């Protein structure tokens, strides 16, 4: 995945700065003179995976293009406690006014990358790929998925526009899996990959007969997954989903599945601990 561009993230950054700074940082503006320049440093306060270094420059340059940023960690690199992440030079008012926004962004991206890397490590000796989902923070879809990629994960569809995923409500409204897949193929021919979410073994059989490219086994036990695999018998790729965490992932990683999707990578993020200090 390519690094998100400034133009792609500018609306989100502008909104974040506006909600925090508002009409001005009344504390910093009172304490520091307008042309007081200083040097700050961002440190890691834990062990994990670094992600989103470009955001420091994106955010500060939205405020003041004269701010200088020197990064010491590359994307996807491991970090440990007390590692120096970046040095920043510029107007002290700018550095302090943007501090919280910078850290908020980085703590999220690094948190996602760190959790993803742990999941990827569990399946390292298998052919399973760890997928993200659309369960992202509104406005942060691109960054959340980039952070998953930084942690070694694989991006699932970006949105509703780039891949077909037939879920339970689609199946109910269409009258069944066969009908839903037929409607999709009639509308788009073979333009899109078609994935079908199933909850029962009967639905697994229907999805196979319908010609689904990927069959998502939702909230199935390990024994049921094994039975579903015997029905699918290589006729479609297999994705396992539903409340997956480190423990449940270890339970199923010896099965011949292709993907495991984990919503918790982005919907239950533990912020990675970082701090910024003036020098």
Q: Which residues are catalytic?
A: 100, 135, 167, 197, 218
Question: Of 114, 107, 126, 11, which is closest to residue 56 (Cα–Cα)?
Answer: 107
Task: Say if CB 185 and CB 196 are below 8 A apart.
Answer: no
Residue 79: closest CA among 117, 105, 135: 117
Burial of 99 (0-12, 13-18, 19+ CB in 10 A): buried
- Residue 142 CA to residue 192 CA, distance in Å, equals 21
∠189-192-196 over CA atoms, to 5°?
100
The SS3 of residue 213 is coil
The bridge status of strand 129-131 relative to strand 259-261 is parallel
Nearest to 117 by CA among 85, 156, 150, 141: 150
Mention every residue, 6+ apart, whose C-beta is less than 8 A from residue 39: 87, 88, 89, 278, 279
């Amino acid at each position: 995945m390519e690094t998100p561009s400034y133009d792609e993230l500018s609306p989100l950054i502008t909104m974040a700065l506006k909600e925090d700074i508002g009409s001005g940082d009344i504390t910093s503006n009172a304490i520091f003179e307008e042309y007081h320049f200083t040097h700050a440093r961002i440190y890691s306060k834990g062990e994990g995976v670094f992600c989103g270094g470009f955001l420091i420059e994106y955010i500060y340059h939205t405020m003041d293009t004269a701010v200088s940023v020197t990064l010491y960690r590359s994307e996807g690199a491991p970090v440990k406690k007390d590692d120096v992440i970046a040095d920043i030079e510029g107007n002290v008012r700018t550095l302090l006014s943007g501090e919280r926004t910078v850290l908020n962004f980085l703590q999220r991206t690094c948190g996602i990358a760190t959790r993803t890397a742990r999941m990827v490590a569990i399946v390292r000796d298998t052919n399973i790929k760890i997928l993200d989902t659309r369960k992202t923070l509104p406005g942060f879809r691109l960054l959340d998925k980039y952070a998953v990629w930084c942690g070694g994960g694989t991006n699932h569809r970006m949105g509703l526009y780039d891949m077909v995923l037939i879920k339970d409500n689609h199946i109910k409204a269409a009258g069944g899996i066969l009908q839903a897949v037929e409607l999709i193929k009639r509308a788009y021919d073979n333009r899109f990959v078609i994935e079908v979410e199933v909850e029962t073994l009967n639905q697994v059989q229907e999805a196979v007969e319908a010609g689904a490219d990927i069959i998502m086994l939702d909230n199935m036990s390990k024994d049921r997954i094994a039975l579903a695999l015997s029905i699918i018998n290589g006729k479609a790729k297999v994705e396992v989903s539903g409340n997956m965490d480190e423990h449940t992932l270890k339970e199923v990683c010896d099965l011949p599945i292709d993907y495991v999707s984990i919503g918790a990578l982005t919907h239950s993020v533990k912020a990675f601990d970082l701090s910024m200090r003036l020098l």
